[in-house]
Amino acid sequence: MIDRYTRPEMGAIWSERTKIDHWVQVEIAVCEAWAERGVIPEDDMQAIRGASCDLDRMKEIEKETDHDVIAFLRAMGETVGTASRHIHLGLTSSDVIDTALSLQTIGAIDHLVSEVDLLIDAVGKEAIRHRHTVMIGRTHGVHAEPITFGFKLAVWYDELRRHRIRLLEAREMIRVGKISGAVGTHANVPPDVEEDVCKHLGLEAAPVSTQILQRDRHAQVITAIALLGTSLDKFATEVRHLQRTEVRELEEPFDAGNMGSSAMPHKRNPHETERISGLSRLLRGYVTPAMENIVLWHERDISNSSSERIIFPDAFILIDYMLGLMTEIVSDWVVYPDRMRANLDATFGAIFSQKVMLSLVEHGLDRQVAYKIVQRNAQKAWNEEIHFSELLKQDPEATAHLDDAAIDAMFDMNYHVQHLDRTFERLGLVETAKQNS
């Protein structure tokens, strides 16, 4: 991933240095298991415990071997001396690569979960802050009925909590290693060695493996990341819509010194949320190779390897960047409650049509008849910019069932948002609000 979208912590997790350090860790853990069984003498084990791998030396050897694991073993062996004959005993390359990848992925998921928690907290605080900030709810992009901005954010809050669960489920699925040798039969490394090594590394031994860990596990990880990224795209798209000049209910942070356009100095463009939308397309694209990597020939082929070298680091680095950016946006955005209220009145009360129709039905009118009365007046209100309530008071078919006081009562905003506190209670946000106050 390019430096522009790489944050230090996640970048370090997916660095070449970290990957090779995990390879060393796996090889030493295997040697420890062999030593416990008397296969490796203690003097040799002491030397192996101090092993390392010089990346420059490894790359130099790889130019000759065209095989990164063999180059790694030679470079690591050079730091050990004659005891190096015990390293990689009974193993195949994927024992090291796949087990180390699991360790790397677990570390990356743990970091992601902490970043998701920060975003959940930021969204939750804004949901509480704006739980009574009334705005229009839209379906098909058209005004529907009133909601609150806090309610919109409560939906995001719950969605993010589900993504947290998915990441932890993917973590558990990838928290396995394999030290089962070529084609996975344990012919040269017994199952108890595998079990001890995995336990030492904080992993479970895969119940069965071929020469590799099966890639449905890895596809679940990438899919969980892509799903999270797609929700971030959803949130970003909402911000972008609400920032449009004609709407202007919400705006990305725009710090002093920022410039929105090279040509038009007045512009404040939603460039950060547009960036999130663009990057999410990459994440969704990574799902396809992750799925394709499940389908390998017989007990293994290596067609998964090349794409995994790209999609795993890139997916984690991108989603980490996107989470950090979205947290900054949510924490510092500008909300325009007055504009929300003004937009809510743009249809001159037509948004209360459902309540009026239901009231007519409650007073004995056939639903289809009530629908036609309401539709006629609501559309006239919208088109001619006359308040819907005034038109109803002038319509004999409506006033035959509803007096002026009843009509006025149906335009009470609280009717539409009166139950939203219950939604916040379900999410635990009301209790949070009480604690904060």
State in Å, rounded, how far the first CA of the chain is from the last one. 43
Q: What is the DSSP letter of 265?
A: T
The secondary structure of 75-92 as a DSSP string is: HHHTTTGGGGGGTTTT--
340, β-bridge pairs: none
- CA 403 to centroid of chain Cα atoms: 52
As a whole number of angstroms, the distance between CA 283 and CA 89 comes to: 38
| Active-site residue, from 52, 114, 261, 306 | 261
As a whole number of angstroms, the distance between CA 177 and CA 304 comes to: 17
- CB count, 10 Å around CB of 257? 5
Q: Any catalytic annotation for residue 261?
A: yes
Helix residue ranges per DSSP H, 130-215: 149-174, 191-201
Helix, coil or strand: residue 402: coil
Q: What is the DSSP letter of 134?
A: E
Instruction: Identify which of 22, 29, 83 has the alpha carbon closest to the alpha carbon of residue 53.
Output: 22
What ranges make up the beta strands (E) of 322-419? 334-335
Helix, coil or strand: residue 204: strand
- CA 348 to centroid of chain Cα atoms: 39
Residue 364: what are its φ and ψ, rounded to 5°? Answer: 105, 0
Q: Any catalytic annotation for residue 353?
A: no
As a whole number of angstroms, the distance between CA 178 and CA 190 comes to: 11
CA contacts within 13 A on the Cβ side of 89: 19
Structure token digits, residue 156: 């995001």
| Active-site residue, from 140, 266, 298, 419 | 140
SS3 content of the chain, % helix, strand, coil (to 5): 70, 5, 25
CB-CB contact of 318 with 354 (8 Å): no
Residues annotated as catalytic are 140, 261
